[in-house]
Structure 1
Amino acid sequence: MPGTPIVVFDGECALCNGFVAWLIRHDKNAVFKVAGSAGDVGKAIVAAAGLEGEVVQSTIVVWDGTRGLTRSDAVLAIATKLGWPWRALGIGRALPRAWRDAVYGAIAQRRARLGAEDPACGVPPAELVAQWRSRLATRADVPGESENLAT
């Protein structure tokens, strides 16, 4: 991926928040930044990727600086940038996208049934708060946004 990849997620979704907490724990080299979809940065990334704003209500988006990846493509892009054993999930690209996205969709359907009290999801645990905040993308991370900040 060219540039620092940014994961845009639905900050109101317990499953998405849980995934980001998992990502921060396993992204030992701090490869990824994160942005909530409701914030200015998340909205700017989705727009820069040419995606509809509603897309983040049903999938995460991985922005690589030139394009936005969604659904199974996003998950596989994340996995291949992490260490072992997660990198091995990249072999999933050999499967047809329709199959991969069907699995992604089945997991995503669970998100509506999860509450913030679910121990596997929710807001970051206290020990991850500082690390989570250090990974937040800023408007300067979005192409064209640093020029907008100067005006």
Structure 2
Amino acid sequence: MKDWENKHIVFFDGDCGVCNFWVQWILERDKNDRFMFASLQSDFGQQFLSERGLQTNDFNTMYLWKPKQYYLTKSRAVLTIADLLGGIYKLSAIGKIIPTFLSDKAYDVISRNRMKLANQKCYLPDQHQKKKFIQI
């Protein structure tokens, strides 16, 4: 069994500063080592998209995948990540009362404008964090 098969995998736009900021944010708070990460542009990310019949050239959506169980997109992925981080972040579960079509509309507005919001500084993970990135 591969390390990632028992983790929650976050797929993100590897060329986006905002996305990379949020990956770093999750890494710093992942005290229970629940998450691994893969860019949508990577071979692993492209395989994930292809196997589900999703567009392989659209990187505007974050995905959360628990192998052999489920995958979530957009606002539901974000809310579930916060819930899995636990602690004070569990309070974000209240956001699940908002209908998905509304919370996804807000997600889409942010996604469309993320490059304008991005502070394009490069993020470099430390040695422990590097192990959490799937390199296939």
Alignment TM-score, normalising by the size of structure 2: 0.83
- Give yes or no for contact 1:17–1:122 (8 Å, CA) kept in 2: no
Which residue of structure 2 aligns with residue 135 of structure 1? 132
Which residue of structure 2 aligns with residue 123 of structure 1? 122
- Give yes or no for contact 1:124–1:132 (8 Å, CA) kept in 2: no
* 2:17 aligned to which of 11, 14, 18: 14
Matches within 5 A, 1:2-151: 3-55=6-58, 57-66=59-68, 67-115=70-118, 118=119, 122-125=121-124, 128-139=125-136
Evaluate the alpha carbon distance shift between residue 132 and residue 46 of structure 1 in structure 2; reply closer, same or farther with a 3 A threshold: farther
Q: Distance in 1 between matches of 2:66 and 2:53?
A: 13
Q: Distance in 2 between matches of 1:53 and 1:137?
A: 18
Unpaired runs of 5+ residues, structure 2, are none
Percent identity over paired residues: 30
Q: Distance in 1 between matches of 2:130 and 2:76?
A: 25
CA drift of 1:130 comes to: 1.7
Q: Distance in 2 between matches of 1:64 and 1:48?
A: 15
Number of aligned residues = 131
Q: Distance in 2 between matches of 1:88 and 1:105?
A: 22
In angstroms, what is the RMSD of aligned CA positions?
2.0
Unpaired runs of 5+ residues, structure 1, are 140-151
TM-superposition CA deviations, 1:51-96 (whole Å, max 9, x none): 22134x1111111114331110111121111021111112211210
Alignment TM-score, normalising by the size of structure 1: 0.76
- Give yes or no for contact 1:13–1:111 (8 Å, CA) kept in 2: yes
**Matched residue SS, 1:90:** helix
**Matched residue SS, 1:20:** helix
